[in-house]
Structure 1
Amino acid sequence: MKTHFLQRQQVIKTQLAAQDLSALLVLGHENILYLSGFSGNAAYALVTAERCLLITDYRYFELAQTQCQGFDVISRDRDNESLGHCINRFLTENSRLGFDAAFINVALWQQIETELSQHELQPIQGLIERQRMIKNDWEVAQIKAAAAIADEALAQTLPYFKAGVSERDLALELEFRMQKLGSEGMSFSTILMFAERTSLPHGSPSDQILSEGDFITLDFGAVVNGYRSDMTRSYVLGHASVKQKQIYDSVATAQQTAINLLKPGVGCIELQNASQQVLDNSGFGQYAGKGLGHGLGLFLHESPFINVNSDYDLALGNVITIEPGIYIPDYGGVRLEDDILITSSGYEILTHAPKPFELEV
């Protein structure tokens, strides 16, 4: 594992030289984890041409020393040394310091800008995120493990999908089983809704009670070593109506159409357009969600994004979701989502939970 982290650090150092930067201040938790292996909070990473430093405090110092690979760990006395002054100890005179612009708030920026005024500060976006788009075998194994936990948790929870149960109770049951199976918390706040509420793409579980004939949508994921899974399944309790079946079949066909195209070199916009064409032909296109999918890893939603604005061509090692949906206000909706690895021969689906539309009453 240490080799993976050292390779990532060397790539960043090479990027710094190419952009004429003296150092990079990394602020995003997931980016710090990716570069160093540190899983805690309240930390900042500083990468220079000569060394990598993790700045934390007494609460996380021992954990950081245990977890960090290729990083020197600095315990900052927060009562007597500000972050800016601590960073300045490790910069050469008149440095050009890049910083993780997407992960800094105004208050912290104002402090750093004042305390590091003798240096040139340069906002940087996407430097580490672009590197993270391509997963190595170890990263893929973590996502597979998270997906397997989600698959099994759903299998254990499905028997509880009966008339009279609430959205909230089912969501709690599903989350309990994921954590019992080894998940490090939830990949994101579980989405679980019944009936007309399934038209909300990202609604939260409520006290609504499940009835026979209701749509059911659940979108959830597990976490293993910081890496996330993300899966959506849609059902009807009992026998589906003709319209419900038409909606489900349209979404399932749109998803499979996009999946069939997956391979290195295919454009994300091509996938989006192919899926949307199926939904348009079904007559439900006006109710389709705006994006087909996204990258997946330490972030739930990371590059590449699959939508009409994407100019990215898929590459070997991308892990993405394909998740078309139809959402009809005051009626209900259907979404199907799977996690997929782009391989040299095409793709490998990482989520394996079955997709029966009709659940037994």
Structure 2
Amino acid sequence: MSNHFSDRQQAIKAAMAAAELDALLVLGHENIRYLTGFSGNAAYALITPQLQLLITDYRYFERAQAECHGFEVISRDRDNESLGQCINRFLAANSQLGFDAAFINVSLWHQVASDLSMHRLQAITGLVEQQRMVKNSWELAQIKAAAAIADKALAQTLPYFKAGVSERELALELEYRMQKLGSEGMSFATILMFGERTSLPHGSPSDRQLKQGDFITLDFGAVINGYRSDMTRSYVLGEASTKQADIYHAVAAAQQAALDLLTPGVACIELQNASQQVLDSSGYGQWAGPGLGHGLGLFLHEQPFINQYCTHQLTVGNVITIEPGIYIPEFGGVRLEDDIVITPQGYEILTHAPKPFQLER
């Protein structure tokens, strides 16, 4: 395991050298976890060619010492030393300091920048995230374990999908079962809606009760060692109408069209276009969501983002979602989502929960 961190740290130093940075301040918690192993928050990672420091405080000092690989842990006295002053202790004069610009608020950065005015500060985005796009075998095992928990929890919860149950009750049941099976909390706030509310791509569970003939959409995931799964299933309770069936089959066909193209080297925009073409030909394309999927790992949504602007070509070790959807206001919607890893032979689906459209109750 420690070799994984050593490899990551050497790779980020090579990326720093290519960007002509003397130092890098890493601020995103997931990026810090990726590079150091520390799973808490209230921490900052400072990397130079000579030093690898994790700056935290007394609340996390002992935990950080136990979890960090290859980083010296510094406990900052927050009452007597600002973050910028602490960082300055370890920088050579007039350093070119890159900082993880997507993960700091304006107030904190003004404070840090003031204390570091004697250095050259450079906003950096995506340096660690680019590295995180390719998962190694250990990372893939964590995502597979999270996906397996989600599969099993759904199977255990499906018997509760009966007329009269509320969205909130089912969401809580599903979350309880994931955590009982070993998930470290939720991958994200569970999305679970019935009927006309399924047109909300990211709606929150309410007290709306399930009725015969309702659409059902649930989007949820588990977490193992910080790595996330993300799966969506859509159903109808009882017999579907012709329109409901048409929408469901259009989404299923759109997902399959993208799956059929998955292989190392395929451009993400090709997946997007193939899926959208199916949805357009179904007559429901105007209600399709604009993106087909995203990368998955320590972040729920990470690079690559599969949409009409994506220039990335898939490589072995990319873990992505494929999740086309149709959302018709005041009627309802359907989304089908699976987690997938790109392999030398093509791809492997990591989420295995069945997709029965009609739930007979």
Matches within 5 A, 1:72-83: 72-83=72-83
Q: Which residue of 2 is the match for residue 337 of structure 1? A: 337
User: Deviation at 1:16?
Assistant: 1.4
Q: What TM-score does the superposition give when structure 1 sets the normalisation length?
A: 0.99
3-state DSSP class of the match of 2:255? Answer: helix
- After superposition, the CA RMSD in angstroms is 0.5
What is residue 242 of structure 2 aligned with on the other side?
242
Q: Which amino acid aligns with 1:235?
A: Y
1:167 corresponds to which residue?
167
Q: Percent identity?
A: 77
Task: Please give the secondary structure, in 1, of the residue aligned with 2:146.
Answer: helix
Runs (5+) with no aligned partner, structure 2: none
CA distance in 2, matches of 1:196, 1:223: 30
Equivalent position of 2:209 in the other structure: 209
Indicate the residue corresponding to 1:198 in structure 2: 198
Give the match for residue 29 of structure 1.
29
Residue 36 (structure 1) shift? 0.2
Tell me whether 13-22 or 155-164 shows the greater mean CA deviation: 13-22
Matched residues in 2 for 1:242 and 1:350: separation?
Answer: 31
* Alignment match, 2:67: 67
Question: 1: distance between equivalents of 2:116 and 2:327?
Answer: 50
Which consecutive residues of structure 1, in runs of 5 or more, have no partner in the other structure?
A: none
Distance 1:191 1:354 in 2: 18
Give the 3-state SS of the residue equivalent to 2:250 in structure 1: helix
| Pairs within 5 Å for 1:346-361 | 346-361=346-361
Aligned to 2:85: 85
Q: CA deviation at 1:19?
A: 1.6
Partner of 1:155 in structure 2?
155
Task: Tell me the distance in 2 between the aligned counterparts of 1:276 and 1:120.
Answer: 45
**CA shift for structure 1 position 360:** 1.5
* Alignment correspondent of 2:271: 271
TM-superposed CA distance for 1:76, in Å, is 0.6
Counterparts of 1:277 and 1:114, CA distance in 2: 52
Size of the aligned set, in residue pairs, is 361
Corresponding residue for residue 56 of structure 1:
56
After superposition, the C-alpha distances for 1:172-226 in whole angstroms (9 at most, x for unaligned) are: 0000010111111110110000000000111000000000000000000000000
Question: How far does residue 352 in structure 1 lie from its aligned partner after superposition?
Answer: 0.2
Aligned equivalents of 1:26, 1:95: Cα separation in 2 = 16
Structure 1 runs of 4+ off > 3 angstroms?
A: none
Report the counterpart of residue 182 of structure 1 in structure 2: 182
C-alpha displacement of 1:51: 1.8
Aligned equivalents of 1:69, 1:85: Cα separation in 2:
25
- Which amino acid counterpart does residue 221 of structure 1 have in structure 2? G
Provide the secondary structure at the position in 2 that maps to 1:297.
Answer: coil
Q: Deviations over 1:37-94 (max 9, x none)?
A: 0000100000100121000001100000000000000011111111111101111111
Distance 2:19 2:247 in 1: 50
Deviation at 1:18, TM superposition (A): 1.6
2:260 maps to amino acid: N
Q: Tell me the amino acid that sits aligned with residue 195 of structure 1.
A: G
Q: Which amino acid aligns with 1:48?
A: T
Query: Which amino acid letter does the alignment assign opposite residue 72 of structure 1?
Result: E
Q: In structure 2, what is the Cα distance between the partners aligned to 1:59 and 1:293?
A: 38
